[in-house]
Amino acid sequence: MSQFAAFLHRSRKCKILLMNSPIIELLAQIASGISIFEPFRRTGREMLEFQETVHRLQEMEAQGLISRLFLQKREIAGQSFCDLVMVTNGLTEEGRRLLEEHQGMKQD
């Protein structure tokens, strides 16, 4: 079990916060078969907002919740932005377990 998942097991407050978590939303999307994430438009504002999703996906990979990520980066106005993320092999066992726990909490 990852440190992140172990922390969530110990903390009821975190479980409540996790109910509306973007991480859970991303786990559910990946579980449903979505493997490519990209901004709807590639304007400066949307690219900046998408970087939050990129950061979450990278954190999820580091915590062992999803399998390997491939990032596509692009330079815009002298800054490097990730404009596409592909998740290969979907959720890990730990990611599935966390999503199932969350879904069980919603039913309670």
Q: What is the CATH number of the domain that holds 43?
A: 1.10.10
Rounded Cα distance between 16 and 3, Å, is: 18
Rounded Cα distance between 52 and 82, Å, is: 10
- The residue that leads in pLDDT, 49 or 20, is 49
pLDDT digits (tens, 9 = 90+) for 35-59: 999 998 877 788 889 999 999 999 9
Rounded Cα distance between 78 and 1, Å, is: 40
pLDDT digits (tens, 9 = 90+) for 61-97: 999 999 999 999 988 778 888 999 999 999 999 999 9
Q: Supply the range of the domain harboring residue 15.
A: 3-107
pLDDT at 7: 55
The total number of structural domains in the chain stands at 1
Which of 7-11, 14-18, 94-98 comes out lowest in average pLDDT? 14-18
